[in-house]
Amino acid sequence: MPDGAGLVTVAGFATWQDPREVYARGRALREEVPHRLHDHPAEGVGRPDAVEYVAATNRDRLAHLVPLWVGRMIASPFAFFRGTAGLMAADLAGRPVSGLTAQLCGDAHAANFGLYGTPERRIVMDINDFDETVPGPWEYDLKRLAASLVLAGREGGVAEGRCREAAEDAVRAYQRTIADLARQPFLDSWNALTDASVITRAQADELLDDFEKASAKARKNTSAKVAAKWTRRVDHARWRFVEDPPVLTRVDEETAAEVVRGLTAYVDTLRESRRVLITRYSVSDVAFRVVGTGSVGLRTYVALLHGNGEEALVLQLKEARPPALAPYLNLPPADHEGRRIVDGTRLVQAETDILLGWTTVAGRPFLVRQFRNMKGDIDPTRLNGNHLDDYGRLAGALLARAHTRSVDPRLLAGYCGEDGELAEAIGRYAVRYADRTERDHAELAAAVKAGRLPAATGA
């Protein structure tokens, strides 16, 4: 190198920073927004009435499925919580935040962490629902996770103290994981916590048996199983879905044609090598399928594709609505809501579905993905106190890794620290918010009983 040669810089690359200085900047944010401020009232200023909120979300749902949606919402306070991410965002709007922005799951409740298969057929556990993904304060996701653990524990009959402990331990695991990732090389931290080893690293060994049972079940949850259960063969080249109302129903020819056109456009949203893969299949049939809790009443289709010999592949096309958090974060409309979800998923998940993409069907944006990709779950409402606590630590660790994909872990580690004040503050808030959710749920149930909203019982 010639004498006096300077540092070579390339547009788009960061200037090297001393990790201690980055951590110190995060630590300085803690002086401005102390951890104790995260213990704040549950209700936001000007929050919508819970019943009015639910009614407002019905406006763009298919009318004949609204009773099914409401019926699922009144099943329990935890079910209500799962369908009201926007209501919690309204409550969090204007509350103290550190100022660090991450790509959020947007709906990081305890049941949105699940198992699925990688392209190499390994089973991993991660956040698995990104309908609400947006950039925003990382605190929103962590507080939603903490409150959901309290509600899930209460539904499962866990003692109140253990519910709060699970919420606090989720925060502590988040802090520990952030601190650990902040010390790792960037490439190592980017690919951390992708398989069952996360359970031990998150100090959640009580869940090992639960994980193994869920993993064994997930390995059988494939397109082949869907085809065996829900389809019949018409001839050597054609298969058809078998109706199972109201969950699985046929669509008319015009709708089926629109969906096929949407799938044709979807191919171009995949990465190049995967376009070659997907176009080896032919579309055999299209049906309408009801899914999830928050998605009931939205337009959701399944497409049956015929591959090599007896091979079946089932894709899901799920209507992508504007995220419920957007109004409370002053975010501009996305160019395409399906692409917003795909971009957020690819940024946050450690491993993404190789057939994840987006399209437009009859003028509406859709997300496209494999319908059954060795998916499984550990139901947090069925865990005892010890296991719920471990589940909280596992989810907290996974959420921390997800957030460090979009915010410098050294900055976040500086703010979060590793003491107990943040966990205790969010733990108190989580209990208070669970109480608020129970009151909201009771108000919705009363509205249904009074005939103000329709609900399908046993939904």
CA atoms within 13 A on the CB side of 377: 14
Using a CB cutoff of 8 Å and minimum separation of 24, what contacts does 300-307 make? 301/251, 301/259, 301/361, 302/241, 302/248, 302/371, 303/259, 303/260, 303/263, 304/227, 304/231, 304/239, 304/240, 304/241, 305/281, 306/237, 306/238, 306/239, 306/281, 306/282, 307/280, 307/281
| Statement: the pTM of the whole predicted model exceeds 0.85 | yes
Count the Cβ atoms, other than its own, within 10 Å of residue 4: 5
Predicted local confidence at residue 10, as pLDDT: 58
Ordered alpha helix ranges (H), 294-384: 326-329, 337-348
Predicted local confidence at residue 233, as pLDDT: 85
Cis status of the peptide bond prior to 96, with omega within 30 of 0: no
**Which DSSP helix (H) or strand (E) runs through 370?**
strand 364-370
Look-up: residue for tokens 């890794």?
Answer: 401
Q: Which amino acid is at 152?
A: A
> How many residues belong to the chain?
459
Give Cα 186 to chain centroid, integer Å.
Answer: 24
Predicted local confidence at residue 84, as pLDDT: 95
Predicted local confidence at residue 423, as pLDDT: 98
CA distance 99 to 101: 6
CA distance 419 to 436: 28
Check: CB of residue 42 under 8 Å from CB of residue 95: no
Dihedral sign for Cα 32, 37, 42, 45, please.
Answer: negative
> What stretches in the chain show pLDDT beneath 50?
1-7, 459
Q: Where are the domains of the chain?
A: 19-219+376-449, 223-370
DSSP E strands, 251-299: 282-289
Check: CB of residue 101 under 8 Å from CB of residue 136: yes
Phi and psi of 454, rounded to 5°? -80, 145
Check: CB of residue 423 under 8 Å from CB of residue 168: yes
Q: CA 438, 439, 443 angle in degrees (round to 5)?
A: 115
Phi and psi of 103, rounded to 5°? -75, 110
Predicted local confidence at residue 141, as pLDDT: 98
